[in-house]
């Protein structure tokens, strides 16, 4: 099967930058996403990037896309304790049934040390 | 807007029992999906729907049924619960197949 790969854990000190990495499977994926899940809650979209972009910046968040290596990263600047959560990388795959399916990685648990 | 709502929040079943997890959205989204989340497994797609009357299987459909009689509602039925179905279930909806998915708060199901 096809897998979106992420490291499972990341620990950083408050104020440092966090970088969460992801490798995806399908070079034809047109949209790539980062979702955040706080404890006991559903997922919320953090940011996304179109496949024709290399970088997208949104306040403290920077997304980098390397299509050649199928590598996606999320950088969080000035990481705060409120950023502690699980971060999921996701890609959109064409399902062949006239629709698309969102395929998620297993998630990276970010722990921020005060 | 309430967004995506799911009921119940928690449920305990005995092996062999059946039940329906409810999901509703008030954003007039055509696309709705059911996922299950297990430790170390991420989210896996169970079933999805691209509009009223149209459903299709995802990655792990066995043991689950869905129907979509209205745009708003997308219930997930467990026909005969098994311990392997112990999980957290999330419903999601989106305006378009590649658009932002809005997730419900989840249903935590335990099958004994």
Suggest the residue from A35, A99, A109 to mutate for an interface test with chain B (most B CBs closer than 10 A).
A99
Is the pLDDT score of B108 beyond 80?
yes
Mean pLDDT of the B83-95 span: 96
Question: Strands B107-111, B10-13: parallel, antiparallel or unpaired by DSSP?
Answer: parallel
Q: Which residues of B touch A45 (CB under 8 A)?
A: 100-101
Q: Do A34 and A110 contact (CB within 8 A), yes or no?
A: no
**What one-character-per-residue DSSP string does A22-91 give?**
EE-S-TT--EEEEEEE-TTS-EEEEEEEETT-SEEEETTEEEEEETTTTEEEEEESS--GGG-EEEEEEE
Mean pLDDT of B19-26: 97
Size of interface A-B (CB pairs under 8 A): 53
Picking from A48, A88, A101, the nearest residue to B42 by CB comes out as A88
Residue A1 has what pLDDT?
42
pLDDT over threshold 80, residue B33: yes
Segment B75-87, tens digit of pLDDT: 999 999 999 999 9
Contacts of A88 in chain B (CB under 8 A): 42-43
Name the closest residue on chain A to residue B5, using Cα atoms. A42
pLDDT digits (tens, 9 = 90+) for A51-88: 888 999 999 999 999 988 999 999 999 999 999 999 99
Nearest to A99 among B42, B50, B92 (CB): B50
User: What are B43-74's pLDDT values in tens digits?
Assistant: 999 999 999 999 999 989 999 999 999 999 99
């Amino acid at each position: 099967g096809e897998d979106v790969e992420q490291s499972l854990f990341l620990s950083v000190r408050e104020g440092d930058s966090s970088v969460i990495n992801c490798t995806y499977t399908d070079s034809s994926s047109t949209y790539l996403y980062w979702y955040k899940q706080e404890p006991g809650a559903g997922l919320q979209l953090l940011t996304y990037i179109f496949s024709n972009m290399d970088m997208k910046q949104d306040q403290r968040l920077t997304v980098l896309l390397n299509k050649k290596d199928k590598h996606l990263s999320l950088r969080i600047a000035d990481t705060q304790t409120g950023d502690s959560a699980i971060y999921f990388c996701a890609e959109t795959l064409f399902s062949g049934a006239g629709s698309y399916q969102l395929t998620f990685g297993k998630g990276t648990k970010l722990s921020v040390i005060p | 807007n309430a967004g995506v709502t799911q009921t119940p929040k928690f449920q305990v079943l005995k092996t062999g029992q059946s039940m329906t997890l409810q999901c509703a959205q008030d954003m007039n989204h055509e696309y709705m999906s059911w996922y299950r989340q297990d430790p170390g497994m991420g989210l896996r797609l169970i079933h999805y729907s691209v509009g009223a009357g149209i459903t299709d299987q995802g990655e792990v459909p066995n043991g689950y049924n869905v129907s979509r009689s209205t745009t708003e509602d997308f219930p997930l039925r467990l026909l005969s619960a098994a311990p392997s179905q112990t999980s957290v279930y999330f419903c999601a909806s989106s305006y378009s197949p590649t658009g932002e998915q809005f997730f419900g708060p989840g249903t935590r199901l335990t099958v004994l």
